[in-house]
Amino acid sequence: MITILGKNSQLAQCLIKKIKCPINILSSNEIDFRDYNNIEVVLSKFSNKIIINCFAFNDVEDAESNQDAYKINHIGLEKVAKFCAKNNIVLIHISTDFIFDGNKGHYIETDPANPINHYGKSKALGELSIQKYCRKYIILRTSWLYSHLETKNNFLFKIKTLALEDKKDLFGAEDIVGSPTSSLSLADGIYKLLESIDTYDFSLKLFHFSDLGSVSRFTFLEEIVKKLNLKFNLSNSVHPTQNSYFNLIAPRPYNTSLNSSLFSETFNFRSQDWKKALNKTIELL
């Protein structure tokens, strides 16, 4: 049996459309990761072989002052990791490009983590807990995750909401670079991984996963708005700016683009170009 945690996340919603075998899928109503004592109690109700963790405290700005980021992304996750270790369950966990400082770009799995904001720090600590306690795990670090769904931490949905007001001036930072990743692509990747999990030897347990390409926020925004304007017959404009324009609380890493070759080679997965992946997602809007 597979259990998916983080029911209403954009990733889990894409994943459940793909997985054909029986699954349990739990939301924060059923399992709250701040309620440490209850985590094992809830998970023990199911005979799990694999747990896929899509939950996270994902609000980068709020994480600068809200201790829930550490409670959920580190301590709550550590409880899940210990439960998996004790019960010989495979843990598949999603982490983030924000564990890097952004000074390098095109990051590979052996590059050292050096987060510069609290969201990144909490996620990096979560990775360490899994590595400390679990034997059979896969950590997939992804970046700039978006989908066709109406979810909070979803750049495409945010831009669609603004764009539908029409004739808007939208601004994108030229000095923030990363690898956009469609939740549909990541769900495809996890599905491919699940197909080989029974025979996998876990010699490699940490992977990067993004769609192919490395672009600025401005370029990503420009492409999104071009397609939304066409699809919905709108006339929004896009302008380049700098990250400082947005007056954000949390420092943002400059270039966190990921190199995902190791995942593709290990699991024989064909990655998609980011523009193609974006097209497919926009078709679903």
Ligand X SMILES: NC(=O)c1ccc[n+]([C@@H]2O[C@H](COP(=O)([O-])OP(=O)(O)OC[C@H]3O[C@@H](n4cnc5c(N)ncnc54)[C@H](OP(=O)(O)O)[C@@H]3O)[C@@H](O)[C@H]2O)c1
Site for ligand X in 116-155 (CB under 6 A): 142-145, 151-153
Q: Does 33 bind ligand X (CB under 6 A)?
A: yes
The two tokens of residue 259 are 């190199």
Smallest separation, CB 144 to ligand X (Å)? 5
Q: Name residues whose C-beta falls within 8 Å of residue 210's C-beta, 6 or more positions apart in sequence.
A: 97, 142, 143, 144, 179, 180, 181, 257, 258, 260, 271, 274
Q: Does 94 bind ligand X (CB under 6 A)?
A: yes
Of 7, 118, 217, 227, the residue at the interface with ligand X (CB under 6 A) is 7
Smallest separation, CB 239 to ligand X (Å)? 22
* DSSP state, residue 150: -
Q: Does 61 bind ligand X (CB under 6 A)?
A: no
Q: Which stretch binds ligand X (CB under 6 A): 28-36, 105-113, 196-204, 234-242?
A: 28-36
Smallest separation, CB 152 to ligand X (Å)? 6
Smallest separation, CB 240 to ligand X (Å)? 21
Other CB atoms within 10 Å distance of the CB of residue 20: 6
Q: Name residues whose C-beta falls within 8 Å of residue 133's C-beta, 6 or more positions apart in sequence.
A: 78, 81, 82, 84, 85
Q: Does 96 bind ligand X (CB under 6 A)?
A: yes
Q: Which of 257, 255, 259, 217 is nearest to 238 (CA)?
A: 217
The two tokens of residue 126 are 């979560």
Provide the CA 143 distance to its chain's centre, in angstroms: 6
Q: Does 100 bind ligand X (CB under 6 A)?
A: no
Q: Which stretch binds ligand X (CB under 6 A): 29-37, 110-118, 230-238, 264-272?
A: 29-37
- d(Cα 235, Cα 38) in Å, to the nearest integer? 50
Q: Does 157 bind ligand X (CB under 6 A)?
A: no
Residues near ligand X, by CB under 6 A: 6-11, 27-28, 31-34, 54-58, 72, 94, 96-97, 142-145, 151-153
